[in-house]
Amino acid sequence: MKKQKPVFVCQQCGAVSPRWLGKCPDCDAWNSYVEEAPAPSSRPGPAAGARGTRRTPVRIREIPAETEARDRTGLSEFDRVLGGGLVRGSVTLLGGAPGIGKSTILMQVLDLMSRRSIKCLYVTAEESLAQARLRAERLKLADDGLLILAETTVEDIIETLHDAKPAVVVIDSIQSVYSPALPSTPGSVGQVREAAGRFVEWAKRSASSVVLVGHVTKEGAIAGPRLLEHMVDTVLYFEEMPGSEHRLVRTYKNRFGPSGEVGVFAMKTGGLSAVTNPSELFLAGRPAREPGSVVVASMDGTRPILCELQALATPVSFGVPRRTAHGVDHTRVSLIAAVLERKIGMHLVTQDIFVNLVGGMSIQEPAVDLPLAVALASSVKNMPVAEGTAVAGEVGLAGEVRAITGADARASEAARIGFQRFVLPKANVRHLSQKHKVQIVGVASLHEAIEALF
């Protein structure tokens, strides 16, 4: 039998090359290729000339319609990012920085589901059973039905799954389990790809939900081949809000629901608790009638969130004026400052500009443009925005205010929190699908917005 030669695999995207490459031609990553011995073939294909195994195409309307069965986790914010709960037969990948709370929240979820007589298994490949029990005692988990397995070998884990037949399985973590059939070390590209493939196959065959915990690199991406995110059905990322006890879980991929959803949690002594009203959280402690402070009606996925945006413009003391931004894109600040100077006549070229989104939030959508312009104008004029006013809108280079998405949801959230006025693009006003308990002020240009608010 001819001996197979080793191959080189990119750790970023999983591309394979017969020789080492300094730069990956697929993902442009440098020094990402590592040598791996080819895996022995353990899955024989069909015999040559075998008949009757080929499938024929069918018309799309002839496919029987099926609705996915979901199991709610018991944590409302976690169910939100999953699209309503764990889909049976699905595989979810949860990534996040070390110590952010991945194992904590998953053990809480399994405990809540076990209390509803759903058979759950927590596979820990990084901790001992004693360590897992200490975490359960710290979290004050009361259910005795939660099963815990300390194992690192993929074949042994799969065999246990066949015997125990759990409805929900957590693998903590995918980089720590390995297959002895592969000569490479645990956490390598080949091991991660093989282990994930085995768990995906088992989930589809057994109609059980599998959650894989993934380590992240220093760049913030999940370690291992990019193929890993394509193999699973849902990809969630745990994000930390700097200087706060709160955590965000964001959906980056979901085959069974909308992506971009965000769940807010608070880290307490007894574990993570869901924050069902994040708008009140981000607006707590807001100063009254303070120049440069504006309430932004933002959208995170399908969820409207109101938060405070602060801007401060001061005369430059020396050198080139600074543009500092936290929570919003730095280039948007420079763009809005240029539009204000050219179209409104505000002299900002000799001003230092500091922008901060309070609470550690981050907004990347263009609807932050109009609130940013209003906050800068409020700081320059030293005039506060009227109390009970929320703002949202995109600003173009000509000074026009363009339409945004989710206007109804933003207006409803503003009314629910108790705001009396909502300033948004005039193009959105005529398309509002319902009447809101808040005064709607439509503006078509930046000049109209400044006149309406000051």
Mean pLDDT in order along the chain per 10 residues (454 residues): 68 78 84 70 46 77 80 93 94 91 94 93 94 90 85 95 95 92 83 92 95 81 75 92 85 90 89 90 87 94 92 87 92 94 91 91 92 96 94 96 94 93 94 88 95 91
SS3 188: coil
The C-alpha atoms of residue 374 and residue 370 are separated, in whole angstroms, by: 6
- Residues 348/383, Cβ–Cβ less than 8 Å: no
pLDDT at 37: 64
CB neighbourhood size of 220 (10 A) = 11
φ and ψ at residue 291, rounded to 5 degrees: -60, 140
SS3 243: coil
pLDDT at 176: 92
* CA distances in angstroms from 328 to 15, 204, 324, 347, listed in the order given: 35, 41, 10, 22
Nearest to 187 by CA among 152, 219, 151, 223: 223
The C-alpha atoms of residue 338 and residue 344 are separated, in whole angstroms, by: 10
Side-chain-facing half-sphere of 450: CA atoms under 13 Å: 21
pLDDT at 15: 78
- The residue assigned the tokens 């394979």 is 16
- The distance between the two most distant Cα atoms of the chain, rounded to a whole number of Å, is 83
